[in-house]
Amino acid sequence: MIDEAPPSSTPFLATSPSVTTALKHAPLGIAIFDNQMRYLAASRQYLTDQHLPADLPLIGCRHYDVFPEIPQKWRDLHARVIAEGVELRHEGDPYVDREGRTEWIRWSMAPWRTDADEAGESQIGGLVLYTEVVTANIEARLKLEAAEARYRAVFDQAAMGVARLTPTGEILEANDSFCTLLQRPRDALLGTSLQSLAHPDYLEPMLRSSAALLAGEQETCSAERRFLVPGGDIWIHLTASMVRVEDEPAYILAIISDVSARKQAETAQADHQSQLRLLINELNHRVKNTLATVQSMAAQTLRNEPDPTVAFEKFEARLMGLSRVHDILTRESWHGAELHEVVERALRPFDEARTRFSIRGPPVRLQPGGALTMALILHELATNALKYGALSRPEGRVDLSWTYDPATRVLEGLWLESGGPPVTEPTRKGFGSRLIERSLRGELKGSAAMDYRPEGLRCVLSARLPEAPEDRPGLPPA
């Protein structure tokens, strides 16, 4: 395997022993070749890097005979350096040795020249090869790059919004979902403090959580917060975790998801429960008022009618009238009614002879919600009149009138009692009065004004009726 030794004129054979010793003990792989790629010198590190004995004699051996597995691309590079005098290098080149191991080599090669001749010219005598095995570094880098690629794939493709923040909350990077949820382009988010995007009502708790993370009092915090978005705000579930390096805060990993739909459902459920409680309270109140009305009708009927059979018939008729009012209040499938009909049906149980009420006003069509509300209000006023006001005495009367402006859809009603006991203003507002006011505000966008005059209650009802479906273009009549 060893060719003839290089000519004795080679400068490296005349190198001083100290230089030769330094070359052998150099901490990296060094090999010097002549222009035929025969070894002139080699460091021990070069030999051990190639899995060869440190004292293996290489001088005079041809490089390609020692390492026949050297690929053609490297042979071409050697030839180029010797022919053109260029310097070449590579930071990490894979090399498969004779045993099939893959090593990553950082290498550089440069030509060396002979002494100048009489004409002052020198020739390229060979090349110097520097090598370093960097397999561990390259494999670590490749593993890191693979891990970063996996992280980037998860980061970018995650269905939830993911962002990396500075320890004080400024956004360093954000995935597409994060930008989509907060409805802002990435450029507008980068460098922005996440706290600055919070709804003012939730800024203080977010600042407290951030301070706890930074101080190490918490490693992770999770909460539902409102965030500002263009044109409004949304509910976000936010999980923030502090990542520490050498026990120092490095960055915060923030994960967000949109929980607006759930929060809206919870709000709707809470509203439903509130409405249900209101309905139960109204039902309890209605039962009490109904019992009071039945009791008053029974007392008046039996007091004024000595014949038990006739008294029973009159009492039964009044109960049926009360039942018709109950139908108006509970019939959800009702498609609207004339106000005059609503008034008559609501007040009929309180005036069987139709002598105690004076009713007048123009035709007005009420939608289902308005009809139910008006029946409820009139029933409440009549019940109160029966218990405390004009209808509690035989000579008492009620005058009910209304006006309506079709252009503004404003309805104004006047309930005027007379002939009853002297009226005094109550010391506190009862449930009935609150129910009347709340019902008008809710369905009819109106109000009620109670004037407790000594000669009788005067109640002014104001409402603005919604636009009827048949008045809207393209909509069929109800």
pLDDT at 282 over 70: no
Mean pLDDT value of segment 85-93: 91
pLDDT at 69 over 70: yes
- pLDDT the model gives residue 149: 65
Which residues face 75 on adjacent strands? none
Q: What percent of the chain has pLDDT above 90?
A: 28
Mean per-residue pLDDT over the chain, rounded: 81
- pLDDT the model gives residue 83: 93
Q: For residue 82, give both structure tokens.
A: 């010797």
Confidence band of 453 (pLDDT split at 50, 70, 90): very high
The model carries a pTM of 0.40
- pLDDT the model gives residue 1: 32
- pLDDT the model gives residue 374: 84
Find all residues with CB under 8 Å of 392, minimum gap 6, and list them.
296, 385, 386, 420, 421
| Backbone φ and ψ of 419, nearest 5° | 80, 5
**pLDDT, greater one: 23 or 10:** 23
- pLDDT the model gives residue 299: 65
pLDDT at 472 over 50: no
Q: What percent of the chain has pLDDT above 70?
A: 80
By the 8 A CB rule, do 181 and 159 touch? no
Alpha-carbon span 359 to 349, nearest angstrom = 15
Confidence band of 36 (pLDDT split at 50, 70, 90): very high
pLDDT tens digits, 96-122: 887 888 888 899 999 999 887 777 788
Alpha-carbon span 250 to 245, nearest angstrom = 6
Mean pLDDT value of segment 252-272: 86
Mean pLDDT value of segment 338-366: 88
pLDDT at 227 over 70: yes
- pLDDT the model gives residue 10: 47
Q: Domains in the chain, ordered, with CATH?
A: 11-137 (3.30.450.20), 158-258 (3.30.450.20), 264-471 (3.30.565.10)
pLDDT at 476 over 70: no
137-141, 252-256, 292-296: least confidently modelled range: 292-296
* Cβ neighbours around 212 below 10 Å, total: 14
By the 8 A CB rule, do 448 and 436 touch? yes
Confidence band of 65 (pLDDT split at 50, 70, 90): very high
Show the beta-strand stretches assigned E in 219-356: 220-229, 232-245, 248-258, 337-338
The amino acid sitting at 157 is: Q
Alpha carbon of 356 to those of 248, 282, 312, 352, 397: distances in Å? 86, 27, 21, 9, 5
Alpha-carbon span 330 to 187, nearest angstrom = 57
117-121, 201-205, 342-346, 379-383: least confidently modelled range: 117-121
**pLDDT, greater one: 368 or 238:** 238
- pLDDT the model gives residue 5: 41
pLDDT tens digits, 394-442: 899 999 999 999 999 999 999 999 999 998 888 877 666 777 788 788 7
Mean pLDDT value of segment 452-475: 76
Nearest CA to 226 among 185, 256, 253?
A: 256
Instruction: Give the dihedral sign, CA 39/45/51/56.
Output: positive
pLDDT tens digits, 297-316: 566 556 656 777 766 765 66
155-164, 283-292, 397-406: least confidently modelled range: 283-292
pLDDT tens digits, 50-62: 888 888 888 999 9
Confidence band of 63 (pLDDT split at 50, 70, 90): very high
Mean pLDDT value of segment 205-212: 88
Alpha carbon of 228 to those of 202, 247, 255, 393, 461: distances in Å? 10, 34, 17, 62, 41
- pLDDT the model gives residue 283: 60
Mean pLDDT value of segment 334-339: 74
By the 8 A CB rule, do 249 and 242 touch? yes
pLDDT at 8 over 50: no
